[in-house]
Structure 1
């Protein structure tokens, strides 16, 4: 039963993490001063990518 939904569970957990990083609840891994500028720009897109991952994970779980 749980094995059937492992892909959706992993995608859901990744969506929660990406959303939390995007909205500033969790810091990006690593030292902030040592990160190249593109990492900060990419993390700004996490605000929409995280919720999108959550919606896709739920939709795939329902479709099964």
Structure 2
């Protein structure tokens, strides 16, 4: 039971971080130039929707988990 709460807390924190990086509140370090940098930039753009989705999932799981 406590493991479920820890898992939901980790998901919530990851969602906050992804949302902050996706919307530019936190910077995401990208190494050098090239194809990998473009790939990481594309991934960070997806954080704009993946972060809030992860937050919603964590909140729903916290509400639905048995007390």
Query: Which TM-score band applies after superposition, normalised by the shorter structure?
Result: 0.7 to 0.9
RMSD: 1.7
Report the equivalent of 1:59: 60
What is the CA distance between 1:29 and its match in structure 2?
3.0
The number of residue pairs the alignment matches comes to 63
2: CA distance between counterparts of 1:16 and 1:46?
10
Look at both structures and tell me which one has the larger radius of gyration over its CA atoms.
Answer: 2
What is the CA distance between 1:28 and its match in structure 2?
0.3
Contact 2:23 2:48 in 1 (8 A): yes
Q: TM-score, normalised by structure 1?
A: 0.85
What SS class does the counterpart of residue 5 from structure 1 fall into? helix
Q: TM-score, normalised by structure 2?
A: 0.82
Contact 2:30 2:40 in 1 (8 A): no
